[in-house]
Amino acid sequence: MAKTNKERFLELVSDTPSNVMEDIKWRRENRPWLKRSRGIAIHVIQVLGNRGWTQKEFAERMGVSPQQVSKWLKGQENFRLETISKMEAVLEVELIEVKSFKSGESSTSEPEANSVD
């Protein structure tokens, strides 16, 4: 006898409770740094494309695995300043902009850089 739609649906449904609400809450709480992380990822992807570099080549230059670079470029990495500085050195671009404390003027005029106050 053929299964009913309900029986087929129940076979697909997991017994594990969903964490969707927790995930939504986490994304809302972390929205500010996630936005900056996506901005850095997009900038890096653009630079790699402009230079004709693959993620693997970038990984080799950074001294990390291609999997790590892939993780970074998903835009959900909470970068350490050390990592950002190394990326900037390898790519020879500024990824974040730090405003000068004394004058209030930025240390760079690059419009693509993410500003950190």
Q: What CATH number has the domain bearing residue 86? A: 1.10.260.40
Answer whether residue 22 is part of any domain: no
- Among candidates 6, 79, 82, which has minimal Cα distance to 43? 79
Answer whether residue 73 is part of any domain: yes
Contacts for 77 with CB less than 8 Å, ≥ 6 apart: 37, 41, 71
Q: Which two tokens stand for residue 2?
A: 């053929």
Answer whether residue 8 is part of any domain: no
Answer whether residue 21 is part of any domain: no
Helix axes of 81-91 and 55-62: crossing angle, nearest 10 degrees: 110
The tally of domains found in the chain comes to 1
Q: What are phi and psi of 92, to 5 degrees?
A: 55, 45
> Do the Cβ atoms of 97 and 108 come closer than 8 Å?
yes
Per-residue pLDDT at 116:
52
The angle at the Cα of 89, spanning 41 to 48, to the nearest 5 degrees, equals 40
Per-residue pLDDT at 88:
98
Print the domain residue range for 94.
31-116
Per-residue pLDDT at 107:
53
Q: What DSSP designation does 102 have?
A: T
Answer whether residue 91 is part of any domain: yes
Answer whether residue 80 is part of any domain: yes
Per-residue pLDDT at 49:
97
Per-residue pLDDT at 111:
47
In angstroms, the CA 40 to CA 46 distance is 10
Which parts of the chain have pLDDT scores under 50? 109-111, 117
